[in-house]
Amino acid sequence: MNLKRNKKFIYLLSPSNIKNNKFFLDLVEVLSTNKISFFQLRLKGESYKKSLSIAKKAKRICKKFKVKFIINDNPYFAKQIGADGCHLGQKDMSLQKARKILKKKIIGVSCHNSIKLVKKATKDGADYVALGSFFKSKTKQNAIRSKIQIINKAKKVSKLPIVCIGGITDKNYKKLILHKPNFLAISSYIWSNSKLKPKEAAKKIDL
């Protein structure tokens, strides 16, 4: 997917905690901007019952706006909820095992700042690779940092879509776009912005 030909270039990550129904109203508003291709539900420390309830609501909203609904870390949960796919970190289940569970669903893999991991994910049959953190991230304080040049290096060894992640805001995203990744993964800038509402924040990320 070419970023220049695709206005839906944001890969939206959820907050790690969703406290009330206001989030779902905001999600509708953000997806209505028509800039979101993926929405990844990335909950931390929630009960299974609450996670299931949140996932069902988020899935319905994503379906309405034709946005791919991705579950973080857990292929079993992704299959149960009928998500469009799953995202795997390096400490999660192997891609081969996840593929047996999810069949032809979307599976993405975090490759941080490693071309070796990009090559492995490509060989193992990933559908996309995520690179970063490119900037200081509020979501992952101790994330491995990546230099922007890795985008071009990854393109030379893999034809998979590239998702850039880590501290992306309206002030720095254009530095990444110059290198033509396929998607920009954004979370705290949208959900924890002290100056802008989620929809307004999303609108400022533009080609």
Q: Which helix (H) or strand (E) holds 25?
A: helix 22-31
Across the chain, mean pLDDT equals 94
3-state SS, residue 79: helix
Instruction: Give the model's pLDDT for residue 2.
Output: 45
Q: Which helix (H) or strand (E) holds 131?
A: strand 128-131
Q: Give Cβ neighbours of residue 56 (< 8 Å, ≥ 6 apart).
A: 81
| pLDDT, tens digit (0-9, with 9 covering 90-100), for 159-193 | 999 999 999 999 999 999 999 999 999 999 999 99
E-assigned strand segments in the chain: 10-13, 36-41, 68-72, 85-88, 106-112, 128-131, 162-165, 183-186
| pLDDT, tens digit (0-9, with 9 covering 90-100), for 132-152 | 999 987 766 677 788 999 999
Q: Give Cβ neighbours of residue 2 (< 8 Å, ≥ 6 apart).
A: 180, 182
Q: In angstroms, what CA-CA distances link 179 with 66, 87, 153, 183? A: 27, 23, 10, 11
**Domains in the chain, CATH or no CATH each:** 3-203 (3.20.20.70)
Q: In angstroms, what CA-CA distances link 199 with 52, 95, 96, 155? A: 25, 34, 37, 31
| pLDDT, tens digit (0-9, with 9 covering 90-100), for 23-52 | 999 999 999 999 999 999 999 999 999 999
| Alpha carbon distance 96, 132 (integer Å) | 23
Q: 5 pLDDT exceeds 90? A: no
Complete DSSP assignment for 6-43: -S--EEEEPPS---STHHHHHHHHHHTTS-EEEEEE--
